[in-house]
Amino acid sequence: MRASGARHGARRLARWGCGALVGISIALLVWGFWQTPRETKVLYLDQGQGSLGIPDPPSANNAIAPSPNVTLEYPSSLRVGDIGLIRLRLTLDAKTALLKYWGDRAEDADAYAIPAPDRVTALAEANLELPQARIRPSDSISQALRDGAPTEFVWSASTSQPGELNGTAWLFIKFATNGTEPTSRIALSAQPIQIEAATFLGLGGAGARLCGTVGVIAAAMAALPIFGGDRIRVARETSN
């Protein structure tokens, strides 16, 4: 009787252990594969706040709201070891940039005269500062402004330590005349970025996915003899 009771207790303990392992493993897999939320910030350059201003919504008096000029998207949280994408999108064509910002870079009165668009190349330059993370690309990126299509910059960010990541996404406008190198740049925006790098049970994204997968497989293998033995025992008792 005592031996039978001990075996019954051991099987019950094993079942509880398998259930706990399955629960923890599923939690790790869900956390490891769950899509992290993203933050979106919009900066309206035509609302009178000037460059480096705080993003304001379009005026309610406007019948048609203007399109946003700068949109910044980034993950508000990031699993340690995983890669998050940060996007900065500028919807400003070359002609509008020339009319709106050429005078800002002039060093004398004569330079305020706006040249013909075919003599000037308008460039957008972006730089991401996020000291606590690994950023690719790490240097400034420049692209020529295009008519009818937004200019987009994309970075990948990752970190090996949990904690709060704070940084700034910079956007500039540059002009090059007659194929020469740009000599100055105008700051359009400097938007703050805040990302929470997290772990679960001390594991990053890859570790959580690996441990969760191994845990489910191990629980399934451990459960086979336990529940299989119970079914065989019940079948024998029924036949007798």
Coil, helix or strand at residue 233: helix
- In the three-class reduction of DSSP (H, G, I as helix; E, B as strand; rest coil), residue 15 is classed as helix
Give the Cα separation of 192 and 130 in Å (integer).
10
> What is the pTM (predicted TM-score) of this model?
0.76
Q: What is the CATH number of the domain that holds 90?
A: 2.60.40.10
Whether residues 59 and 133 fall in one domain: yes
For residue 53, the enclosing domain spans 37-198
Are residue 123 and residue 182 in the same domain, yes or no?
yes
Could you tell me which of 36, 14, 29, 19 has the C-alpha nearest to residue 200? Answer: 29
Q: Are residues 50 and 85 in the same domain?
A: yes
Same domain, 54 and 101: yes
Shared domain check, 103 and 45: yes
Within this chain, do residues 157 and 102 fall inside the same structural domain, yes or no? yes
- Looking at residue 4, its pLDDT comes to 54
**Averaged pLDDT in 10-residue chunks for the chain of 240 residues:** 54 75 92 93 68 45 54 96 95 82 60 65 92 93 86 96 95 81 80 95 94 90 67 51
The pLDDT value given to residue 66:
47
Q: What is the DSSP track for 83-130?
A: -EEEEEEE---HHHHHHHHGGGG-SSGGGGSPPPGGGEEEEEEEEEE-
